[in-house]
Amino acid sequence: MSLQSRLSGRLVQLRAAGQLLVPPRPRPGHLAGATRTRSSTCCPPAFLGVFGRSARTSAGVGAWGAAAVGRTAGVRTWAPLAMAAKVDLSTSTDWKEAKSFLKGLSDKQREEHYFCKDFVRLKKIPTWKEMAKGVAVKVEEPRYKKDKQLNEKISLFRGDITKLEVDAIVNAANSSLLGGGGVDGCIHRAAGPLLTDECRTLQSCETGKAKITGGYRLPAKYVIHTVGPIAYGEPSASQAAELRSCYLSSLDLLLEHRLRSAAFPCISTGVFGYPCEAAAEVVLATLREWLEQHKDKVDRLIICVFREKDEDIYRSRLPHYFPVGTCPAPPHGPPLPRSTLGAGSHCPLPSSLRLPQPTLTGTGKQGLAPCGGPGPRLTRSLTPAHPQAGRETTGQPGRSGTPTDTSDSALPSDLPSGPRSQL
């Protein structure tokens, strides 16, 4: 008898005994353990050299049958184990595991891990070009030329920086990077203890430098920590250079990690004592010059403030660094008080952009002059009514022995008043 005849006869015996199994095709309502489907001539036999009950698995089915049961039971045995792992950021103690887990999530999947539900998407934050519509100011001698593309890259936002859904937020930190008061403490509390654990591995940061960590429970994917200069009174040239370096170092990390959006608080203007007006000049000049060279590499840079005072400062200075247009001359009529006009402007401004009232020299009385007219000689005092109006005086020293920058530029509204405690 030929080999082919012997094999055919053996197959007939196996079919009759029900020992030759094939995987059943999945169909609705088909459950594991259903009636076995015998093989047919359309199904190639597996392992023809091994027959009998020894070839069956412990479940009583062959290798094909076991695979079929796994499929019909909804078990995807080929899926990587890492896909099934889920990290609870509120209880996890391994920052590396949590950071790796978050990197594997889509933007939509990350939302369920945010510390807040009322986060602010980037598209909800207007650009300076959109914000300045109807509030265009003619600057007689603007420092930079008008650039519509740059005006779409910069934003001024007043609110809580910890709720911004951007690629990175910048933290006005102390040199220890371990948290403190003000915006620094708010970011650490919102992100959770894993942020502090990662910061501890960075081993401090020098003034003017920046380091990057994950965002963890923040809507922002990353946190860039930078240490600003301490400048009580009039800042020196070196202190201005250090403040500029804070922004440039942060922007360098933005490019290095290929991030497209970032939000900056008012660095050093809290207990670090840097005057708000002087800081705004440094910030706007730095961002303008950087954007001129890298405008195609970012989508948005956001200046995030918390106090109305800081918002007014930036609203009045932005047209000098990011001109948005001009206003026509006002119609003939009674002269407008100069107090309602910007420096060198013929356009009335809204109250949020009005400059301080001028005073006549030696009289202390407010003086008025027609638009463009000679008028009396005026001396404008830039000194605020309260000596400490431009800075935050509360706060406690940071862990490294230097004070923590407790700028109110991006603090949540539910912060308690009084001195801020350290983490």
Domain membership flag for residue 76: no
Domain membership flag for residue 383: no
Domain membership flag for residue 189: yes
Domain membership flag for residue 242: yes
Full pLDDT tens readout for the chain, 423 residues: 566 777 677 776 766 666 555 555 555 554 444 444 444 444 444 444 444 444 444 344 344 444 444 444 444 434 344 444 688 888 888 999 999 999 999 999 999 999 999 999 999 999 999 998 866 566 767 788 999 999 999 999 999 999 999 999 999 999 999 998 899 999 999 999 999 999 999 999 999 999 999 999 999 999 999 999 999 889 999 999 999 999 999 999 999 999 999 999 999 998 899 999 999 999 999 999 999 999 999 999 999 999 999 999 999 999 999 998 754 333 444 443 333 333 333 333 344 434 444 443 444 444 333 333 333 333 333 344 344 443 443 343 443 444 545 554 455 444 444 433 333
Please state, in angstroms and rounded to a whole number, the distance separating the CA atoms of residues 205 and 211: 7
Residue 193 lies in domain: 107-321
**pTM greater than 0.85:** no
Domain membership flag for residue 161: yes
Please state, in angstroms and rounded to a whole number, the distance separating the CA atoms of residues 391 and 272: 8
Domain membership flag for residue 330: no
Domain of residue 164, CATH code: 3.40.220.10
Cβ count within 10 A of residue 136: 13
Domain membership flag for residue 381: no
Domain membership flag for residue 41: no
Please state, in angstroms and rounded to a whole number, the distance separating the CA atoms of residues 347 and 358: 18
**Number of domains composing the chain:** 1
